[in-house]
Copies of this chain bind each other. A is one copy, B any other.
Amino acid sequence: MSVVTCQLSVSLDGYVAGPDQSRQDPLGRGGLRLHEWLFAADRWREQHGRAGGEPGVDSQVVDEVTRGVGAYVMGRRMFGGGEGAWDESWRGWWGEEPPFRTPVFVLTRHPRRSLPMAGGTEFHFVTDGIRSALEQARAAAGDREVAVAGGASAVRQYLGAGLVDTLQLHIVPVVLGAGEPLFAGLTDLRLEQTRVVAGPTVTHVTYRVLR
């Protein structure tokens, strides 16, 4: 059965986005700093249709976390914002050729027809909960990984339900002080460090989630 993975950039105080998140500023105040390492990685830029960037350890990490994925699960805001955006003409904010290139199962309360995009991404909208979305993603992924892509709320739900096998944190030397806390309500989480990769500016640590 598919391994369920999850990887996020996190501040030293455990936030995955800064305070005052909004439609215009989904990463919140200071939150962009969590992703600078990623935006500078040539592999990420290539996946997102942008030129330039740096090769190296961070790019290898990006390559690893995407290469084995056969399907994604994500929250509705990660697909494309708040409830107001849920008419059928709204195609999300990933552009016409999203970087996923696999089936993507979007958690929502609003039924909607599946949405095929260029480049292999197809968004499916799941209204009956996180376990159903995961089952559908597993079926689509075959023996490849299912990645819980985000946002933080979806990740917390999957972690809290014991449905994630490996968690990779990109630990960024930034203090946000407030914002979206990755670990809220997860004091029972038991993790075992399995791998450490030192990037030039951030540290990538992989944990096995113990049951």
Contacts and interface: CB of A to CB of B under 8 A. Distances in A.
A173 interface: yes
A196 B186 contact: no
B192 A203 contact: no
A175 B183 contact: yes
Contacts of A201: 192-193
Interface string A7-42: 000111110000000000000001000000000000
25 contacts: A10-B12, A11-B14, A12-B14, A12-B182, A13-B13, A13-B14, A13-B181, A14-B14, A30-B187, A171-B171, A171-B203, A171-B205, A173-B192, A173-B207, A174-B191, A175-B183, A175-B186, A175-B187, A177-B185, A193-B198, A193-B200, A193-B202, A193-B203, A196-B196, A203-B203
